Protein backbone atom coordinates (compact mmCIF):
# COMPACT_ATOMS: atom_id res chain seq x y z
CA UNK A 1 0.00 0.00 0.00
CA UNK A 2 1.52 3.27 -1.06
CA UNK A 3 1.03 6.08 1.44
CA UNK A 4 0.02 9.45 0.02
CA UNK A 5 0.02 13.03 1.26
CA UNK A 6 -3.44 13.52 2.79
CA UNK A 7 -5.55 16.49 1.74
CA UNK A 8 -5.81 19.30 4.24
CA UNK A 9 -9.33 20.17 5.45
CA UNK A 10 -8.56 23.84 4.64
CA UNK A 11 -6.58 25.87 2.09
CA UNK A 12 -2.88 26.56 2.72
CA UNK A 13 -3.57 30.24 3.37
CA UNK A 14 -6.63 29.63 5.59
CA UNK A 15 -4.75 29.69 8.91
CA UNK A 16 -2.88 32.94 8.22
CA UNK A 17 -1.69 35.07 9.85
CA UNK A 18 -1.56 32.68 12.82
CA UNK A 19 0.11 30.02 10.68
CA UNK A 20 1.33 31.36 7.36
CA UNK A 21 0.90 29.82 3.96
CA UNK A 22 4.71 29.62 3.78
CA UNK A 23 4.83 27.59 7.01
CA UNK A 24 2.25 25.16 5.66
CA UNK A 25 4.03 24.93 2.31
CA UNK A 26 7.16 23.79 4.12
CA UNK A 27 5.70 21.93 7.09
CA UNK A 28 2.92 20.10 5.25
CA UNK A 29 4.14 20.22 1.67
CA UNK A 30 7.80 19.41 2.24
CA UNK A 31 8.41 17.93 5.72
CA UNK A 32 5.36 15.67 5.77
CA UNK A 33 5.83 14.73 2.11
CA UNK A 34 9.44 13.73 2.85
CA UNK A 35 8.36 11.45 5.73
CA UNK A 36 5.81 9.83 3.41
CA UNK A 37 8.34 9.39 0.60
CA UNK A 38 10.89 7.91 3.01
CA UNK A 39 8.31 5.56 4.48
CA UNK A 40 7.26 4.30 1.04
CA UNK A 41 10.91 3.58 0.18
CA UNK A 42 11.51 1.78 3.49
CA UNK A 43 8.44 -0.48 3.27
CA UNK A 44 8.88 -1.41 -0.40
CA UNK A 45 9.34 -5.16 -0.75
CA UNK A 46 8.73 -5.84 2.98
CA UNK A 47 5.72 -7.27 4.83
CA UNK A 48 4.98 -3.70 5.95
CA UNK A 49 4.14 -2.75 2.37
CA UNK A 50 0.58 -4.09 2.85
CA UNK A 51 0.03 -2.68 6.34
CA UNK A 52 -1.80 0.45 7.39
CA UNK A 53 0.10 3.44 8.67
CA UNK A 54 -1.07 2.73 12.23
CA UNK A 55 0.03 -0.92 12.00
CA UNK A 56 3.49 0.15 10.83
CA UNK A 57 3.72 2.72 13.63
CA UNK A 58 2.80 0.07 16.23
CA UNK A 59 5.02 -2.72 14.90
CA UNK A 60 8.09 -1.17 13.27
CA UNK A 61 11.29 0.12 14.82
CA UNK A 62 14.13 2.39 13.77
CA UNK A 63 13.83 4.48 10.60
CA UNK A 64 10.63 2.73 9.50
CA UNK A 65 8.96 3.60 12.83
CA UNK A 66 10.30 7.16 12.75
CA UNK A 67 8.90 7.89 9.30
CA UNK A 68 5.58 6.12 9.97
CA UNK A 69 5.13 7.92 13.28
CA UNK A 70 6.08 11.29 11.84
CA UNK A 71 3.59 10.75 9.01
CA UNK A 72 0.85 9.76 11.46
CA UNK A 73 1.67 12.57 13.93
CA UNK A 74 1.75 15.27 11.29
CA UNK A 75 -1.46 14.07 9.65
CA UNK A 76 -3.20 14.09 13.05
CA UNK A 77 -1.81 17.55 13.86
CA UNK A 78 -2.90 19.14 10.58
CA UNK A 79 -6.33 17.51 10.80
CA UNK A 80 -6.86 19.08 14.24
CA UNK A 81 -6.43 22.66 12.99
CA UNK A 82 -9.18 24.93 11.68
CA UNK A 83 -9.46 28.56 10.62
CA UNK A 84 -12.72 28.79 12.61
CA UNK A 85 -12.76 28.95 16.41
CA UNK A 86 -15.46 26.50 17.49
CA UNK A 87 -16.61 26.36 21.09
CA UNK A 88 -15.42 23.46 23.19
CA UNK A 89 -18.30 20.95 23.23
CA UNK A 90 -19.69 20.42 26.71
CA UNK A 91 -18.77 16.71 27.00
CA UNK A 92 -15.13 17.59 26.29
CA UNK A 93 -15.21 20.58 28.65
CA UNK A 94 -16.67 18.30 31.34
CA UNK A 95 -13.93 15.68 30.81
CA UNK A 96 -11.18 18.31 30.93
CA UNK A 97 -12.68 19.79 34.10
CA UNK A 98 -12.97 16.33 35.68
CA UNK A 99 -9.33 15.42 35.01
CA UNK A 100 -7.57 18.82 35.20
CA UNK A 101 -9.84 20.98 37.36
CA UNK A 102 -10.90 23.30 34.53
CA UNK A 103 -10.42 23.87 30.82
CA UNK A 104 -8.07 26.77 31.59
CA UNK A 105 -5.97 24.61 33.94
CA UNK A 106 -5.73 21.97 31.20
CA UNK A 107 -4.53 24.60 28.69
CA UNK A 108 -1.97 25.91 31.19
CA UNK A 109 -0.60 22.43 31.89
CA UNK A 110 -0.54 21.50 28.21
CA UNK A 111 1.21 24.76 27.33
CA UNK A 112 3.77 24.18 30.08
CA UNK A 113 4.43 20.62 28.89
CA UNK A 114 4.85 21.72 25.27
CA UNK A 115 7.02 24.70 26.21
CA UNK A 116 9.36 22.68 28.40
CA UNK A 117 9.72 19.62 26.14
CA UNK A 118 13.47 19.57 25.52
CA UNK A 119 14.38 19.53 21.86
CA UNK A 120 11.92 18.34 19.23
CA UNK A 121 8.74 16.40 19.73
CA UNK A 122 5.03 16.38 20.37
CA UNK A 123 2.72 17.14 23.29
CA UNK A 124 -0.53 15.18 23.36
CA UNK A 125 -3.85 15.14 25.16
CA UNK A 126 -4.65 11.45 25.50
CA UNK A 127 -7.29 9.18 26.94
CA UNK A 128 -6.51 5.88 28.65
CA UNK A 129 -8.64 2.73 28.39
CA UNK A 130 -10.85 3.98 31.25
CA UNK A 131 -11.46 7.36 29.61
CA UNK A 132 -9.20 9.36 31.91
CA UNK A 133 -7.40 12.24 30.21
CA UNK A 134 -3.74 13.12 30.63
CA UNK A 135 -0.99 15.10 28.93
CA UNK A 136 1.94 13.22 27.45
CA UNK A 137 5.03 14.68 25.80
CA UNK A 138 6.99 12.53 23.38
CA UNK A 139 10.42 13.33 21.99
CA UNK A 140 11.22 13.08 18.32
CA UNK A 141 8.75 10.74 16.58
CA UNK A 142 7.16 9.40 19.78
CA UNK A 143 3.48 8.53 19.64
CA UNK A 144 1.18 7.58 22.55
CA UNK A 145 -0.45 4.78 20.53
CA UNK A 146 2.69 2.77 21.34
CA UNK A 147 1.69 3.04 25.05
CA UNK A 148 -1.91 1.99 24.47
CA UNK A 149 -3.20 5.55 24.80
CA UNK A 150 -5.77 7.22 22.55
CA UNK A 151 -4.63 10.55 21.06
CA UNK A 152 -7.19 13.36 21.19
CA UNK A 153 -5.10 16.48 20.51
CA UNK A 154 -1.49 17.18 19.59
CA UNK A 155 0.87 20.07 19.04
CA UNK A 156 4.04 19.73 17.00
CA UNK A 157 6.92 21.46 18.76
CA UNK A 158 9.61 20.58 16.27
CA UNK A 159 11.17 23.89 15.22
CA UNK A 160 10.02 23.44 11.62
CA UNK A 161 6.42 23.77 12.89
CA UNK A 162 6.85 27.36 13.98
CA UNK A 163 10.23 28.83 13.01
CA UNK A 164 9.13 30.67 9.86
CA UNK A 165 6.37 32.55 11.72
CA UNK A 166 7.64 32.63 15.31
CA UNK A 167 11.40 32.12 15.07
CA UNK A 168 12.56 30.89 18.50
CA UNK A 169 9.34 31.92 20.29
CA UNK A 170 7.89 28.46 20.93
CA UNK A 171 5.58 29.75 23.67
CA UNK A 172 4.05 32.33 21.31
CA UNK A 173 3.38 29.54 18.79
CA UNK A 174 1.75 27.40 21.48
CA UNK A 175 -0.44 30.28 22.66
CA UNK A 176 -1.57 30.89 19.07
CA UNK A 177 -2.21 27.16 18.61
CA UNK A 178 -5.18 27.43 21.00
CA UNK A 179 -6.92 29.72 18.50
CA UNK A 180 -6.57 27.11 15.73
CA UNK A 181 -7.80 23.97 17.52
CA UNK A 182 -10.86 22.28 16.06
CA UNK A 183 -12.52 21.39 19.35
CA UNK A 184 -15.31 19.55 17.53
CA UNK A 185 -12.77 17.05 16.18
CA UNK A 186 -11.07 16.71 19.56
CA UNK A 187 -14.42 16.00 21.21
CA UNK A 188 -15.34 13.45 18.52
CA UNK A 189 -12.19 11.48 19.43
CA UNK A 190 -13.25 11.04 23.08
Question: What is the CB neighbour count within 10 angstroms for residue 123?
Answer: 24
Q: CA distances (Å), 42 to each of 30, 104, 140, in order?
A: 18, 42, 19
165 annotated among ligand-binding-site residues: no
Would you say 128 is a known binding-site residue? no
Handedness of CA 92, 28, 84, 103 (dihedral sign): positive
How open is the CA angle 144-147-45, to the nearest 5 degrees? 80
* 3 marked among binding-site residues: no
Give the whole-angstrom CA distance, residue 56 versus residue 62. Answer: 11
74 is in an annotated binding site: yes
CA distances from 143 to 32, 89, 103, 129 (A): 16, 25, 24, 16
User: How far is Cα 16 from Cα 10, in angstroms, rounded to an integer?
Assistant: 11
Contact assessment for residue 31 and residue 160, using Cβ atoms and an 8 Å cutoff: yes
Residues annotated within a binding site: 27, 74, 156, 160
Residues annotated within a binding site for Mn(2+): 27, 74, 156, 160
Amino acid sequence: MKHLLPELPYQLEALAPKMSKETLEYHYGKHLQTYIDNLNKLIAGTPYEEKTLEQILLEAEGPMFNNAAQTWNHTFFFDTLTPQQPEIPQPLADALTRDFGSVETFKEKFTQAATTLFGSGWTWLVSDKDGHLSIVSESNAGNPLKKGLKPLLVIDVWEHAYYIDYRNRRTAFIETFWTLVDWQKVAARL
